[in-house]
């Protein structure tokens, strides 16, 4: 099993939240949460093809399927442990787990679970009400042991990456205002705008976010 990766980032994809980390000459493609992605340095290659910047370490989980082996990366061991607990719940696969951790910090998720707030958890793309309810039911005691000090609930439970949507200016801010005018909450808007094309015009960003909201 690959427990950690230590190397330099040579490629990033903000749309899929994936990075390629070069370790001893080998590049490992790793899917990360939005929270982790926001903490990582952007890739930068020199003229000779080598990566600039300092090496970074991320904690990893390796998922083995019949047709693929995938790596999921986390900035902290705390986030990795939260991910492992999430995917232990029936119906929560790695993608759903990453979706939840892109909306919440680990302590914020712990607070939501402790308070029985399955509605907030169900706002993560790909996570329905029944799945969110199972997360709360099955993980309440486990999260209490793993994160004894809980973060404040509500909007304070949002991850830095999700919260950054609401500090945006320009097109993202305009799209945010339009979505909230339609009745969507802060956390719903943050989750929906997680994968929009930031280079698109406002109308396209709103359409992409609405599509995500309708699928959630």
Residue 130 class from Cβ within 10 Å (0-12 exposed, 13-18 middle, 19+ buried)? Answer: exposed
Q: Does the pLDDT of residue 99 top 80, yes or no?
A: yes
| C-alpha pair distances (Å), 72 with each of 28, 75, 189 | 10, 11, 25
* Phi and psi angles of residue 2, each rounded to the nearest 5 degrees, phi first: -95, 110
Q: Does the pLDDT of residue 85 top 90, yes or no?
A: yes
Long-range contacts of 16-24, Cβ-Cβ distance < 8 Å, separation of 24 or more:
16/195, 17/98, 17/102, 19/43, 19/73, 21/56, 21/58, 21/73, 22/51
Q: Identify the pLDDT of residue 51.
A: 59
Q: Identify the pLDDT of residue 84.
A: 95
Least confident of 100-109, 131-140, 164-173, 199-208: 164-173
Q: Who wins on pLDDT, 20 or 153?
A: 20
Q: Does the pLDDT of residue 168 top 70, yes or no?
A: no
Rama region for 154: left / alpha / beta (φ>0; ψ in -120 to 50; rest)? left
| pLDDT (tens digit per residue) in 32-58 | 988 888 888 766 555 555 656 678 899
**Is domain 162-215 classified as CATH 1.10.8?**
yes
Specify the DSSP element, H or E, that contains 163: helix 160-164
The CATH 1.10.150.20 domain(s) of the chain lie at: 77-155
Give the other-Cβ count within 10 Å of 124's Cβ: 28
DSSP at 67: S
* Closest by CA position to 1, among listed 57, 50, 60, 82: 60
Q: Does the pLDDT of residue 197 top 70, yes or no?
A: yes
* Closest by CA position to 171, among listed 199, 143, 138: 199
The CATH 1.10.8 domain(s) of the chain lie at: 162-215
Domain 77-155, CATH number (from 1.10.150.20, 1.10.510.10, 3.30.2130.10, 1.10.357.140)? 1.10.150.20
* Closest by CA position to 105, among listed 33, 166, 157: 157
- Distance, in Å, from the CA atom of 36 to the CA atom of 57, rounded to the nearest integer, reads 11
| pLDDT (tens digit per residue) in 116-149 | 889 889 988 889 899 999 999 999 888 888 777 6
The fold of 4-74 is OB fold (Dihydrolipoamide Acetyltransferase, E2P) (2.40.50)
Kindly state the greatest CA–CA separation across the chain. Answer: 53
Q: Does the pLDDT of residue 194 top 60, yes or no?
A: yes
Mean pLDDT over 178-192 rounds to: 72
The CATH 2.40.50.140 domain(s) of the chain lie at: 4-74
């Amino acid at each position: 099993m690959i427990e950690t990766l230590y190397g330099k980032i040579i490629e990033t994809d903000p749309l899929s939240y994936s990075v390629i980390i070069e370790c001893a000459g080998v590049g490992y493609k790793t899917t990360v949460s939005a929270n982790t992605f926001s903490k990582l340095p952007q890739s930068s290659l020199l003229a000779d093809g080598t990566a600039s910047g300092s090496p970074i370490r991320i904690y990893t989980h390796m998922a083995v399927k019949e047709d693929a082996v995938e790596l999921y990366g986390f900035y902290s061991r705390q986030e990795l442990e939260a991910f492992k607990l999430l995917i232990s719940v029936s119906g929560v696969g790695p993608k759903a787990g990453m979706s939840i951790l892109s909306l919440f910090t680990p302590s914020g998720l712990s607070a939501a679970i402790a308070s029985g707030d399955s509605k907030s958890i169900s706002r993560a793309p790909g996570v329905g009400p029944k799945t969110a309810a199972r997360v709360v039911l099955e993980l309440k005691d486990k999260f209490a042991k793993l994160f004894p000090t809980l973060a404040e609930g509500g909007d304070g439970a949002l991850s830095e990456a999700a919260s950054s949507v609401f500090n945006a200016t320009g097109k993202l801010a305009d799209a945010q205002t339009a979505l909230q005018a339609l009745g969507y909450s802060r956390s719903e808007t943050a989750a929906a705008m997680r994968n929009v094309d930031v280079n698109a015009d406002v109308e396209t960003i709103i359409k992409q976010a609405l599509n995500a909201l309708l699928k959630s």
